[in-house]
Amino acid sequence: MNAMNDLGSLADLPTEYVEALASHNLVPLWPSLRGVLPPTKPRPNTRATHWAYKDIKPLLLQAGELTPIEKAERRVLVLANPGHGLDKMQASAAIYLGMQLLLPGEWAPSHRHTPNAVRMIVEGEGAYTTVDGEKCPMSRGDLILTPTGLWHEHGHDGTDPVVWLDVLDLPIIYYLETSYHVNGDAQTTVPGRGDRIYAHGGMAPTRMFVRGSKPYPMLRYPWDQARAALLTLSQDNPQEPSVQITYVNPETGTDVENILGFYAMMLRPGQTLNMPARSPACVFHLIEGQADVAIEAQKFHLVEADTCCAPGYTPVTVTNRSSSQPAFFFLADEAPLHRKLGVYEVRA
């Protein structure tokens, strides 16, 4: 016999008893036991959700007219998952997504905070982020890190609006009651760029006695190099269905940040890829091409600059709608966190 017996509910108990418990800050477990430990798999609040760039962009440009940068510090529209409630500003349990606009001549002042962030550049040229004194130019598809505790500010010397996708681990840092920021003065730019030093695969600078003095030696991952790596990977492994790279720390080979993982994925022309159910929630942002993302009963039609998210423990099928051109995604997930916590799972 399966031991899935019905458990008692709160209504089974005398009101005076429940009130007596509450007056001593006590709660009976059994009415909530199945809720906190559901059978066989979690019941995520995270819902499969699609944010179309064509819907975001006009509203973001309107924010540029309505709210000067001085009144916003960061002019961002948050991509909020309705399953968590929009006010929670969460895409998933651990992932925050925001679309940020910087207009020519604007400056988003220097600050640092405990959550880790990355930027995926969506549109526009001429902006830069200065991280830990390193001035990182922003171009479409580039990935720029602002890891925990590092000073960062955004500026724009170009002529057209620049938009990027912010991905932060803010929800989990906030939940842990460890989220705060510090404002600072404009940074002095220091010479030397990690993306130049580590531009040649498999070669890291030799330092006398100590390797790698910086915990985050590379802050900018240019899209042209990621794209070229994917095309080579595809050509050299024609039988391999998954064409994906992980953004790694070039000194250690580990994920670039501690909590969220970041990847670029290519689908060959016409390809359909079945991704197994895994415990982490995952975000898909289409950099180039046109693709469908099917998550359980939902099927999203993505065009360039669109973003969607899938809850964990859910298989996802991605299809390149073009029969002649590859499609390129940027992915973000919670895998590093799940691995560190020992809860990472793949279900065949």
Q: Which residues bind ligand GTQ (CB under 6 A)?
A: 74, 76, 98, 100, 113, 117, 152, 166, 168
Closest separation in Å from C-beta 178 to ligand GTQ: 15
Q: Which is nearer to ligand GTQ, 144 or 287 (CB)?
A: 144
Q: Which is nearer to ligand GTQ, 100 or 279 (CB)?
A: 100
Closest separation in Å from C-beta 98 to ligand GTQ: 3
Distance between CA 228 and CA 223 in Å, rounded? Answer: 8
Closest separation in Å from C-beta 214 to ligand GTQ: 20
Q: Which is nearer to ligand GTQ, 76 or 93 (CB)?
A: 76
Distance between CA 251 and CA 14 in Å, rounded? Answer: 62
Q: Which is nearer to ligand GTQ, 127 or 266 (CB)?
A: 127
Cα four-point dihedral sign 245, 251, 256, 258: positive
Q: Which is nearer to ligand GTQ, 172 or 318 (CB)?
A: 172
The label of the residue with tokens 């969460």 reads: 90
SS3 121: strand
Helix (H) or strand (E) holding 174: helix 170-175
Closest separation in Å from C-beta 166 to ligand GTQ: 3
Residue type, 329: F
Helix (H) or strand (E) holding 233: helix 223-236
Closest separation in Å from C-beta 216 to ligand GTQ: 15
Closest separation in Å from C-beta 99 to ligand GTQ: 8
Q: Which is nearer to ligand GTQ, 178 or 317 (CB)?
A: 178
- 66 vs 70, 87, 142, 192, 308, CA distance in Å? 12, 21, 28, 38, 27
Distance between CA 139 and CA 161 in Å, rounded? Answer: 12
